[in-house]
Each structure stands twice: as C-alpha cells, then as structure tokens.
Structure 1
C-alpha cells in the first residue's frame, strides 16, 4: 500500500507481482502441425526466453503500476477523455493538469510528450496521440501507429527508463481495428527488445477485458514461449510481419508504376493495382466501398463502358441480391419449426442504445444433425427485419462441444450469402465464455474470411461484462449458462435487476 494525499491509501501494483510472459507457457494448448512445407523457413520471431522474461500482459488499472513510466493515449489537444486517461489524471492529481497547461499544451499525432508522474507511483507519464483509421489511408494509419509505439520506446531509452507500462494506443474510438493495431504494437516492441533489450527490464502491455482476448491469441506469434509455439506461429503470422523496426511493409498496397511512361496523365485511381489479394485481405466491406467509390467516379465522368470491371461488380451484386431475395421468400413460406424449436437463436431485448440483441446459444446448435439449409433459412427469417437497423449479437460458447462447431466452409457460405446490410448494421459481436481455441479460430475466420466485422468482435470472460452495454433484465439466457458463469466467476455474478450476490 502507498499513501496518497489526505492520508488516503491506494493499492500499488509492482511488476514483481505479475506473471512474466515467459512464465505463462502452456504448451498443452499448442496445436501440433506436421512441419513439412515450412521446414526450411526461419521464423521471423524465434523463441527467446530472455525477451519473454521482460514482457507482461495485464488487464488492470495502469495508474496503479509502480513502474518508471506509464503511457497515456490522448488527442492532439491533450484533452481526450477515455478510461486510461481518466484514471491517470484522477490519480496523478491537479498538479498534472497544471503541468500540461503550463508546459505541454499539445502533441501532434505520432509524437510523444513527457510529464512527471506526480501522485502516481510512476516517475513519468509518456503521452502520445494515435492515428485515426481510414481504410482509404490505411498505410498512413499503420505507419503512424508504429511511430507512436516506436517513439514511446525510444523516449524510454533516452530517459533511462527500465520499466514501462504501455496502454492500447490504437483506439477503437478512432475506428482503429483492435487486432490490426495489436499486431503493430507487438511486433514493434519485439523488434525494439531485440535491438535495445539491454535498455529495458520490463514492458507491460496493459489492456482491458475486450483487448485481452486479442493479445492472448497474438502474443504467442511474436513472443513464442517454446519451439512448438514458434513453429505454429509461422503458419499463423500475417503476410506483413514488418521491417527491421516492426514498421509496416506492404508492397501490394503501393501505387503501381505504369508500363507506358507516356501515359503521364493517368490518375491515381487508374494506377492502383486492384489485385485479388486486395479483395481477400480487406474483405467484402472494402470491396463494396471500392465499388461504390468507382461507381460515383463513373457517374461524374459519364463513363458507361460495360467492359469495365465495375460493371462486372455491379452484375455480381445484383445476382447476389437476387439469390438472397429467393432465400428470403423461401424462409417466409417454408415450415421451419424443426429449427426454431431448438431455441439456439432468438432475439432477447435491446441494449442500452435501444439496439436489438440477438442471442445464439452454441451448446444448443446440433450442427452434425440439423438440416443446414433450413438453419440458413431460419437465420434469414429471424434476422432480415432486425438488420434493417443497428443490432448486436451475443454468442454464448458456454459448455459448447465439438459436435456444435459449424464448419468453416458452411460459415463462409453463410457469410457470403448474407447481404451487405448484415455486416454494416452489426455493431458488436460478443463471444461470452470463449476458450483459447475459440479465440484462435475467431481470429482466423475474421482475418481471412470476414475482415469486415473483425473490429466488431469482442471476447468476454463472463456475463457481467455484457451489463455495461445492456441492462440485465434485457438478457434472457438459459439457466445452465448463468450456473456455469457463477461457477467460474464466483459470487460477483450480476443477477437480473441489477442486484449482485
């Protein structure tokens, strides 16, 4: 315990109390792959126990850490209100606000500013401003985010800091996809520790409950805890693993040099290489956005060439819509009681913003026994009137077994059949009681099959974490889920109506 002003005591957390990443090895959870294809390929992030011993993953209050420096993500005017900043300012006291107004005042995106820790247990506070994310300027956003993390580490080295707590700089508030930001954060820290590891003893990744699942899945890719994890990571790392400092290297997104140098009047849009890889990596949402942008451009320029690729996209979109309309007509006319009677999919009230909540109970979905055609029709029948506006999905993975897991091929077929409004109006997809395997497969599916919804997926360890977004009396779930939740999460379980036991 450490005294604060007016004799009030607050808890202080020392890094020595926290588990180092190298000590958290769980080789039983590592999937064994037959290493035949990449046997001769060297891992870009080899197993290194010395580096792992410097890294900590913690989902706590950054303002309580007894470290040399903590990182405060803020905006350019240094006035942003977010959970991390609010805790830091509250615990640091008014003297921090005074120093900011007197000496700092502003910080440009990608830069860092340093203040004293004041009433915090940390000596310094390193303030930085993360970028706003826009798919059109994705490369710029990624480079700027890398610069934020790199500058934080470099400033720590300059100040002689031995321990630093890094909060999540890539804010969802700025539309930055959490997982993509985590990749940049992890590989930037990894590369820095490889080159300047002697300057730092401890790097703590401080995350909230939502980001915890992402970091638990991605940390083994950049900081493998064994040779087995190192081998598995080679199959799961993204194509872009960064440059020498972890900076983004994406040649497939660069402007393509034209073959005929005489065509100097071509626009940037005409020179962009619209390769199939772009469609796969950015997903249906980006493809649709690209199509819409090009359609607007055609209208402005009066272009009507039927041989243009955009015309093909329009035709495919029309065919896709017609297919969905046929399925919707079937869903409204066929007898779907054998699926609806299972009770694994239903609407359950609304969240705190008035958006419908769709509940899916994984344990009750008999994938190996159910008629999958009728399952798809019932999904469309239930969701079509809901997805016309914003909505959220709560998927309960509680006690789900292998017989309940849908195949990737079926999930991909369903995802591709559902029209754009399903992805656009889905505001959050909560996975409650996920397992390590669930997190791994969710990351895989949203990375390679459904990137349009990737930033909307959140893994939650318990029911209580839903209550910040929806009232308890709006959530109707089977009794076995609440019983399991109380078993694993103890007496802090929130009872409907707001009471706790």
Structure 2
C-alpha cells in the first residue's frame, strides 16, 4: 500500500506535465484545411514549437505521445501535406536540433511517413535555405528531403493550398507584409523593424540549456 502511495506524486507530476505539453503542442500543430488536390493539411507554427521544453528529460517522449494520440489518428492514414510557418522562430527557443528531429521522424509509423506528400516551408530565409541545402540531405531520408518546398510568400502558398481553409497567425501575415515592402530581408541584408532578425536555421544540436518542463517545475 505504501509503495503505491509513494509513487502517486510522480504519477501526478507526469500527468500534469503531459496535459500542459499537450496544450502547448496544440498551438504548434493543427490539422485543418485541404490542398488543391484535396489532401489534409498539417500546419506547424515554428514560433509555438516548444523546443527548449522538449529537450528536457522526457520531452521528446511527450511529443511522440502527443502525435500518436492527437495528430496521427486525425490524419486517418490518408496522404497529407505539411505547412511549416517559420516566421519569428528562433534557434535557441524553437529548435530541438536536427538529431532530435531525425529521431522523431524515424519513430513515425511507416504509413505516416509514406503519407507525407509535400512539406511547404513558409518564409525560410537565406540561412535556413543554406543550412538545409548543406546538412538536410544527410539527416533526413532522400524521400522526405525531396518533398521540401520553399515558399517565400503566402501568395505562393495559395497556389498549392486552399487559402480560406488554413489559419494563418497574425504575426505570420505581418511578417509576410513586411517582406513585401522590404524584400532584402529575405537575404539577411536588412533587419525587421518589428523584431530582431534571428530566424536562424536549426542547429545540429541546440545550445539551449537543459531545464524542466515549465508546467512540472
């Protein structure tokens, strides 16, 4: 009896951490809308991706659990596309590192990996392009790397995705508008007036310090 009571606090902490991480990940991962071929869209917002929490102990397992419970069943095993919105993502905050991303990708069920038809990388910036061109093919399968599509402006995304069916955060639209007026931002030659331009490509292993999940501590 006492052993069960002794383990109860750990169980409560684990449940609280899982519930809190679910809430955070729901902001980053949303399924909704269709592309021009009628395929489901998985939208990922880089700014909301909790990389610093995920590199903490158990964080990647929480991510896998969330995907298995909340994302994969909603996809229903059908082909789908990914729309990744990179605006305001910063390396130290929003990337767990390519090695961690690769481990998550390799852990995906085969039918989910096979179901990815395209990955639209919105607002990549010059650094992200160079980084993925240099290292991406070594860390991801040729099949996935070959599905990557860079999208400089939202207007080009709508050539592939049904515009009114995918939610675009206001800050992503604002960033798109700013790029229209200051195109040199695409090449890193001009900084944004609104935010310091730190939309770097993901590091091979993030330098962010390890720390506990914010909702467990």
2:177 is aligned to 486
Structure 2 counterpart SS, 1:468: coil
Q: Is the 8 A contact 2:98 2:139 kept in 1?
A: no
Aligned counterpart, 1:122: none
For residue 419 of structure 1, report the CA deviation from its aligned partner: 2.1
Which one of 79, 88, 103 corresponds to residue 399 of structure 1? 88
Deviations 1:35-77, CA, capped at 9 Å, x for gaps? xxxxxxxxxxxxxxxxxxxxxxxxxxxxxxxxxxxxxxxxxxx
Identify the residue that residue 136 of structure 2 maps to in structure 1: 445
Pair 1:367 & 2:51 matched: yes
Shift, 1:414, TM fit: 0.6
CA distance in 2, matches of 1:362, 1:440: 18
Q: Distance in 2 between matches of 1:439 and 1:462?
A: 15
Matches of 1:410 and 1:448, distance apart in 2: 10
Alignment equivalent of 1:352, drawn from 30, 36, 42: 36
1:387–1:426 CA contact under 8 A, matched in 2 = no
TM-score normalised to the size of structure 1? 0.30
- The answer (yes or no) to whether the contact 2:33–2:162 under 8 Å persists in 1 is no
Q: Which sections of structure 2, spanning at least 5 residues, go unmatched? A: 1-14, 182-217
1:442–1:377 Cα change, 3 Å: farther
- How far does residue 387 in structure 1 lie from its aligned partner after superposition? 5.5
Contact 1:346 1:382 in 2 (8 A): no
C-alpha displacement at 1:459, in angstroms?
0.7
**1:415 and 1:450 in contact (8 A); partners too:** no
Q: Provide Cα deviations, 1:215-251, integer angstroms capped at 9, x if missing partner.
A: xxxxxxxxxxxxxxxxxxxxxxxxxxxxxxxxxxxxx
**1:466 aligned to 139, 143, 157, which one?**
157
Of 23, 26, 32, 1:341 maps to 23
Give 5+ residue unaligned stretches, structure 1.
1-333, 491-501
Counterpart Cα distance in 1 of 2:35 and 2:126: 27
**Matched residues, number:** 158
Kept in 2: contact 1:367–1:404 (CA 8 A): yes
Give runs of aligned pairs for residues 125-136 of structure 1, distance below 5 A.
none
Deviation at 1:396, TM superposition (A): 0.7
Higher relative contact order (Cα pairs below 8 Å, separated by 6+ residues): 2
Shift of 1:479: 0.8
Q: Distance in 2 between matches of 1:383 and 1:442?
A: 25
Q: 1:425 to 1:387 in 2, by over 3 A?
A: farther
C-alpha separation in 1, matches of 2:102 and 2:139:
10
Query: Residue 149 of structure 2: SS of its match in structure 1?
Result: strand
Aligned alpha-carbon RMSD (Å): 2.0
SS of match in other structure, 2:158: helix
Q: Secondary structure at the match of 2:50?
A: coil
Q: Deviations for 1:258-315, whole angstroms, at most 9, x for unmatched residues?
A: xxxxxxxxxxxxxxxxxxxxxxxxxxxxxxxxxxxxxxxxxxxxxxxxxxxxxxxxxx
1:414 aligns with 2:104: yes
> Residue 80 of structure 2 contacts residue 117 of structure 2 at CA under 8 Å; is this kept in 1?
yes
Contact 1:356 1:391 in 2 (8 A): yes
Rg larger in structure = 1
Question: What's the CA shift for 1:413?
Answer: 1.0
The structural deviation recorded for 1:447 is 3.8
